[in-house]
Structure 1
Amino acid sequence: MPTTPLLTTRIDKWLWAARFFKTRSLASNAVELGRVLQNELRVKPAHAVKVGDLLEIHHADQIWQVEIVKIIDVRGSASIAQTMYGETAESIAKRQHKAELRRFQTEPAAQLQQRPTKRQRRQLNHILIE
């Protein structure tokens, strides 16, 4: 039985199917907290998405700006999930720049030879907060 292509689906379901989040409840929670914007607007998890919508996804210290290319509401393989969206050139450049910066930064605890003392731990926390 042939299935008709979907025109819309819930944003949390699409994020889960596109493998941005491991579970649908995590995707729903991120949308609820405003970490996912649809066309620069904050939406609810049940909000419908359609082809052509622009999503800005803040997840795990990464920011993706993607345009929805395909609507699928079931989770499939990673190769299928990557065909559901196209990342903007600006987003790719920003993520690569952040990756380069992270690569050249040294870990504050790398210079320690043993377990840090209370004073060293305070200094590390002060560095990490800044």
Structure 2
Amino acid sequence: MVDSVRLDKWLWAARFFKTRALAKKAIDGGKVDVDGSKAKTSKLISPGMKVRLPQGWDIWEVEVLAVTEKRRGAPEAQALYQETDESRQRREKEAESRRQARETFQHPLKRPDRRDRREIKRFQREQHD
């Protein structure tokens, strides 16, 4: 094991992103924070640092436990970090609210016909005016 490794390599090795290019894109887009501040791709990560990053709909906050430059299997990758309790609780709460919103949504019984489409377009025009 090494003492520190580049942020993009660590995110890739910890299996947060499929490729280093995707990790770099997220970092350059300002979506990844290290110890509360925006990070650059070449930022050196060492154990004890806190990383905040998006994963789909969720925002993960993890503490770095170990660093490596090699991508291994998922069980080994999960040993590189530990998610904070606040992050886990927030993710579960948001997932539950998304699940409830999905259950309350009712799909239309049929596709809109010509008259319905005209009403939809009229409504959209009124919203923009």
Shared fold per TM-score greater than 0.5: yes
Q: CA deviation at 1:59?
A: 2.7
Counterpart code for 2:48: G
Q: CA deviation at 1:46?
A: 1.1
Match of 2:93, SS? helix
- TM-score, normalization: structure 1? 0.82
Q: 1:106 aligns with which of 97, 102, 110?
A: 102
- 1:100–1:109: structure 2 CA closer, same or farther, 3 Å change rule? closer
Question: 2: CA distance between counterparts of 1:7 and 1:26?
Answer: 24
Unaligned 5+ segments in structure 2 are 124-129
Question: 1: CA distance between counterparts of 2:122 and 2:65?
Answer: 48
- 1:83–1:112: structure 2 CA closer, same or farther, 3 Å change rule? same
- CA contact 1:63–1:91 (8 Å) conserved in 2: yes
- 1:76–1:121: structure 2 CA closer, same or farther, 3 Å change rule? farther
- Please give the residue correspondences for 1:25-64 in structure 2 after superposition, counting only pairs within 5 Å: 25-64=21-60
Question: 1: CA distance between counterparts of 2:97 and 2:20?
Answer: 31
Question: 2: CA distance between counterparts of 1:122 and 1:81?
Answer: 53
- 1:28–1:112: structure 2 CA closer, same or farther, 3 Å change rule? same
- 1:113–1:122: structure 2 CA closer, same or farther, 3 Å change rule? farther
> Which entry has the higher C-alpha Rg, 1 or 2?
2
Q: CA deviation at 1:120?
A: 5.2
- TM-score, normalization: structure 2? 0.83
RMSD of aligned residue pairs (Cα, Å): 2.3
Paired residue total: 120
